[in-house]
Structure 1
Amino acid sequence: MQKSFALIGAAGYIAPRHMIAIRETGHNLVAALDPNDSVGVIDSHFPQADFFTEFERFDRHVDKLRRRGAPVDYVSICSPNYLHDAHCRFGLRAGADVICEKPLVLNPWNIDALQEIEAETGNRIFNILQLRLHPSVRALREKVNSAPVDKVFDVDLTYLTSRGNWYGVSWKGDVHKSGGIATNIGVHFYDMLCWVFGELKSSSVHIHRDDVAAGYLEFERGRVRWFLSINDSYLPEHAVAAGKRTYRSIMIGDEELEFSDGFTDLHTASYEAILAGNGFGLDEARDCIDTVYRIRQETPVGLKGEYHPFCDRVEED
């Protein structure tokens, strides 16, 4: 049976992946919202969808559909990070299930409140945690689970995705709206680490600036040095020579996890799982939200202890 979707944040970077996922799973986008009206991408997927730039009119429209007996089944949320909590609440109270981009929320206690509203409404919230669906990541989890129980893996996580000056001017550059760089570009990696290596035991942060962050995480089954940045000056030489502006690497001991293919094509798989009743709910999102919140609260200690080798590329203040 075809489901009806509404989408909040239609002009955002990630919204087209949700539109594609809705279309490829055979369902229909009936309404979309964004204060920015640069949403011509809708024409490539659902030209008949009603579009709104004001939340109040969007809210009224969704309510009218419900009263007419044609309610929205799912609300997909692609809005700025700090609005996810409020938009999840709207979706539940509108009588719909919710599919929310990561990070689900910025603070761990927001999850507790959302669970209360789930119980009140009987509807569910699902978080897009697509790296759990990547074949290489699933194979790594199986490898860790199959290893001797006292085996602890040494991991280097490196992720650089270059951004221009616009980034700092946008909501993404405001830590109160995005959660900062570790939350905004790194939360799905932290989810992957929690999912693969188990309970987080300790954390330290070596560098935390607007454009770069690095630290050390010790999990039950993994010791992880991590480095994240949006600054292209930290790209490795071979990436620059190849004309690349993005570089990601996960080294487990001397072996590199190969996940370059399919990294950006997992939203449809996420929707398929959610529609089949197998999505990742609030409890599954909790560990990564706890982790990024913890990172955000820590005072950087500088280049001490187990720090990522890319930290040497960053000049001291």
Structure 2
Amino acid sequence: MKQFAMIGAAGYIAPRHMKAIKDTGNTLVAAMDKNDSVGVIDSYFPEADFFVEYERFDRHIDLLKRKGTLIDYVSIASPNYLHDSHIRFALRHGAHAICEKPLVLNPHNIDALKVVQEETGKQVYNILQLRLHPSIIELKEYVAAEVAKNPNKVFDVDLTYLTSRGHWYFTSWKGDDKKSGGIATNIGVHFYDMLGWVFGDLVKNEAHLKQADSSAGYLEFKHAKVRWFLSVNYNYIPESVKAAGQRTYRSITVDGKEIEFSGGFTDLHTVSYQHILNGGGFSLDEARKSIEIVSQIRKQDTVNNKSDVHPFVAKVIR
């Protein structure tokens, strides 16, 4: 049984980490969040110690270590801009880090973390759950087979992801680009990771739309041309989806064929933890490509490229 600590226990994604720790037969020893709405812990680890002050949490982990209770892993589900600091905390306390996406906000953060990783001998793992989704694994195998037959094959891909959020989103840290990285980073980074994993190295990166609630652009990989659109605005969801009472819409088409991957998301954190505990996991280097993509999107100006624009952009710019 491995001993876990957690930073960011009150967030949206924290229960999936708690469930993953429990489902893999391990235990949560201590958790920290500046917000105290963490009653969900009772469903998984009611005996876990809890702290709302980072300094007291730090002292507690240190005292545990001095008494012989070593923390094997620190699960990090804190706001995006704090990931870098909290990963360092884990490594310096002699624990491996399992961090939510995005791992960090900029590529240079990865370079700096590699130094700390080498100094401590501990590893950093990023939750890149789409690489473990059965439909995406099947897609990767299909693409590899097609490329083997035709090494110059380039697929036409449309990525559309809308996950409705209320007014709270823009009041929280997620609505602050300096803290979340913006829409493309906060809700898109694991999709970009998946695209690079399936279709190869990045060739071109254009931003067509950058607004507080929506982002769109064009990515060209070695074996794919990708039009993408991301939004948290309910108004842009297709009417047929709204009529079904749904507030989320995911779609990936490859050469016009829909890739079915709408289900199976809730258990992917458990699968990710099993992957790490079995000697796998996705490293700093594997996270780099997606972080480079979102960093480029964030820093570049939008361009008017009508030939490669995602059709949903017309819903925003009329």
TM-score range normalised by the length of the shorter chain: over 0.9
TM-score, with structure 1 as normaliser: 0.98
1:1-317 alignment runs, 5 A limit: 2-147=1-146, 148-302=150-304, 304-315=306-317
Unaligned runs of 5+ in 2: none
* Structure 1 residue matching 2:20: 3-state secondary structure: helix
- 4+ long deviations beyond 4 Å: none
| Contact 1:168/1:174 (8 A) holds in 2 | yes
Q: Distance in 2 between matches of 1:303 and 1:230?
A: 23
Report the more deviating stretch, 210-219 or 261-270.
261-270
**1:199 and 1:302 mapped to 2: Cα distance?**
24
Please tell me the residue identity of whatever aligns with 1:129.
L
Determine if contact 2:27/2:45 at 8 Å carries over to the other structure.
yes
Whichever residue aligns with residue 155 of structure 1, its letter is V
Asked if the contact 2:156/2:256 (under 8 Å) is kept, the reply is no
Partner amino acid for 2:192? Y
Give the distance between the partners of 1:254 and 1:57, measured in 2 at CA.
54
Answer whether contact 1:207 1:302 (CA < 8 A) is retained: no
* Long gaps (5+) in structure 1: none
* 1:185-204 CA-partner distances (Å, limit 9, x unpaired): 11110000010000000011
For residues 241-293 of structure 1, the C-alpha deviation after alignment (integer angstroms, 9 at most, x for no partner) is 11110000000012100011102320000000101110001001000000100
Distance in structure 2 (CA, Å) of the matches to 1:263 and 1:45 = 20
Do 2:183 and 2:213's aligned partners in 1 also have CA atoms closer than 8 Å?
yes
Aligned length: 315
Partner Cα distance (1:27, 1:235) in 2 = 40
Kept in 2: contact 1:206–1:304 (CA 8 A)? no
Distance 2:190 2:247 in 1: 19
Q: Which whole-Å CA distance do the structure 2 matches of 1:254 and 1:284 have between them? A: 29
State the distance in 2 between where 1:41 and 1:158 align.
32
Alignment partners' CA distance in 1, 2:293 and 2:90: 26
- Checking the alignment, whether the CA contact within 8 Å between 2:81 and 2:180 is kept in structure 1 is yes
In structure 1, give the amino acid aligned to 2:126: N
Task: State the distance in 2 between where 1:258 and 1:315 align.
Answer: 29
Cα distance in 2, alignment partners of residues 91 and 112 from structure 1: 17
Partner deviation per Cα, 1:83-109 (whole Å, 9 max, x = no partner):
000000000000000100000000000
Q: TM-score, normalised by structure 2?
A: 0.98
Identity of aligned residues (%): 64
* Distance in structure 2 (CA, Å) of the matches to 1:132 and 1:82: 24
The 8 Å contact of residues 127 and 272 in structure 2, kept in 1 or not, is answered as: yes
Q: Is contact 1:156-1:225 (8 Å) kept? A: yes
